[in-house]
Amino acid sequence: MDISGKVAIVTGAASGIGRAVAQVLGEAGAAGIVIADIDLAGANETRERLEAETPAQGLVVETNVADEDQVNAMVEKTVARFSRVDILVINAGICPMVPWDDTTLESWNRILEINLTGAYLCSKAVLPHMRHNKFGRLVFISSAGAFMGSVTGHVAYGASKAGMIALMKVLAKEFAVEGILANAIAPGSIDTPITDSFGVDAKRRFAEASSLGRQGTPRELADAVLFLVSDRSTYVNGATLHVNAGSLLV
Ligand SMILES: NC(=O)c1ccc[n+]([C@@H]2O[C@H](COP(=O)([O-])OP(=O)(O)OC[C@H]3O[C@@H](n4cnc5c(N)ncnc54)[C@H](O)[C@@H]3O)[C@@H](O)[C@H]2O)c1
């Protein structure tokens, strides 16, 4: 799978899945990878590793995806540095445990703003550049939670991730004729700091829910992203790829 010369923005690439996506896209020949995250230290670590181990150039842009001005500035910096943007991986997200009884409008809004509004703002900012070049690949990192009705404590999270799928479908229908394909990935439980934060018992339960008896690795998820943005994927549009080792099977 080849993405030679392509320029990708990966949001939330300071950690976990996003960091692995940056690395895998770099290994597959991307010319430039923009690491857009609020965590500057983690983002710099991703860039150092990327540039040491792959031919890709990295660009760190401190970005809160829920802030329209910051998102627009991040895309402008991308184009100023690399002249184009071909791929957007919408990965930045938060997943706090907020049980129904503790859900407040404030906590609801915060989760929706980052996970769903952030996806809208990032798509909106890159689309003029992709339309101009008549090429684009958008990948929304949703969640199995969008399909399970979520697990305990993930009220707003499940809603935000289901919203991402609907947004992805809108863009898939609207822009395919302009060479822009939009798809989603719904990860099951992947071994990252997000799932670490749920504790050892929860991680064990997540692992047991998978047919392989283990969590996925960030690279296993990143390889699925690579397929969707590579030259091997030209007729997949509006789809959701479930990367969960069968954990949704009943
Ligand atoms: N790990 C899993 O099991 C799993 C399962 C389903 C979906 N996901 C989704 O995958 C994505 C990546 O999660 P992860 O597991 O790698 O977690 P992670 O915590 O390791 O990474 C999330 C990244 O997003 C960044 N981020 C958070 N808020 C941000 C904001 N406002 N603006 C910019 N960056 C922000 C964080 O700084 C961090 O670098 C998330 O959207 C998550 O919901 C993860």
Q: What percent of the chain has pLDDT over 70?
A: 99
**Rounded mean pLDDT of 60-75?**
98
In the reported structure, the alpha carbon of residue 91 is separated from the centroid of ligand 1 by a whole-number distance in angstroms of 6
- Give the C-alpha separation, 117 to 52, whole Å: 34
pLDDT digits (tens, 9 = 90+) for 10-53: 999 999 999 999 999 999 999 999 999 999 999 999 999 999 99
Is pLDDT larger for residue 88 or for residue 100? Answer: 88
3-state secondary structure of 244: coil
Q: Which of 249, 18, 223 is nearest to 147 (CA)?
A: 249
Three-class secondary structure of residue 169 per DSSP: helix
* Per-residue pLDDT at 143: 96
Residues 6+ apart with CB under 8 A from 87: 3, 6, 7, 8, 9, 25, 30, 136, 137, 138, 139, 229
Residue 213 has pLDDT above 90, yes or no: yes
Split at pLDDT 50, 70, 90, the class of 81 is: very high
How far, in Å, from the CA of 17 to the mean position of ligand 1? Answer: 7
In a domain, 117, yes or no: no
46 touches ligand 1 (CB under 6 Å): no
**Tens of pLDDT, residues 69-78:** 999 999 999 9
Dist. CA 40–CA 74, nearest whole Å: 14
Q: How far apart are CA 220 and CA 143, in angstroms?
A: 15
Indicate the average pLDDT of the chain: 96
- Inside any domain, residue 183: yes
Q: Which two tokens stand for residue 238?
A: 């509006």
Residue 113 belongs to some domain of the structure: no
Task: Count Cβ atoms below 10 Å from residue 159 Cβ, excluding itself.
Answer: 18
The answer to whether 120 is a known catalytic residue is: no
**Does 186 have pLDDT greater than 70?**
yes
In a domain, 39, yes or no: yes
> Which atom, in ligand 1's list, is nearest to the CA of 92?
24
Residue 237: inside a domain = yes
16 and 194 Cβ atoms separated by less than 8 Å: yes
| Whether pLDDT at 153 is above 70 | yes
The enclosing H or E element of 146 equals helix 145-148
In a domain? residue 120: no
The bridge status of strand 136-141 relative to strand 240-243 is unpaired
pLDDT tens-digit map of 106-139: 999 999 999 999 999 999 999 999 999 999 999 9
In a domain, 114, yes or no: no
Q: How many domains does the chain have?
A: 1
Can you give the residue range of the structural domain that contains 45? 7-108+125-243
Per-residue pLDDT band at 150 (split at 50, 70, 90):
low
What's the gap in Å between 92 CA and the centre of ligand 1?
Answer: 5
Q: What's the CATH code of the domain at 89?
A: 3.40.50.720
Query: Which residue(s) pair with 90 in the sheet?
Result: 140
What is the sign of the dihedral through the CA atoms of 230, 232, 234 and 239? negative
Least confident window among 172-181, 205-214, 238-247:
205-214
Q: Is the CB of 237 under 6 A from ligand 1?
A: no
What is the spatial distance between Cα 10 and Cα 28, in angstroms, rounded to a whole number? 15
Q: Does 103 reside within a domain?
A: yes
Residue 157 pLDDT? 94
Q: Is 18 in the pocket of ligand 1 (CB under 6 A)?
A: yes
- Helix or strand holding residue 238 (H, E): none
Query: What pLDDT does 149 receive?
Result: 80
Residue of 120, 157, 175, 206 with catalytic role:
157
Q: What is the pLDDT of residue 145?
A: 93
Residue 136: beta bridge partners?
180
Decide whether any atom of ligand 1 lies within 6 Å of the 63 Cβ: yes
The pLDDT of residue 240: 98
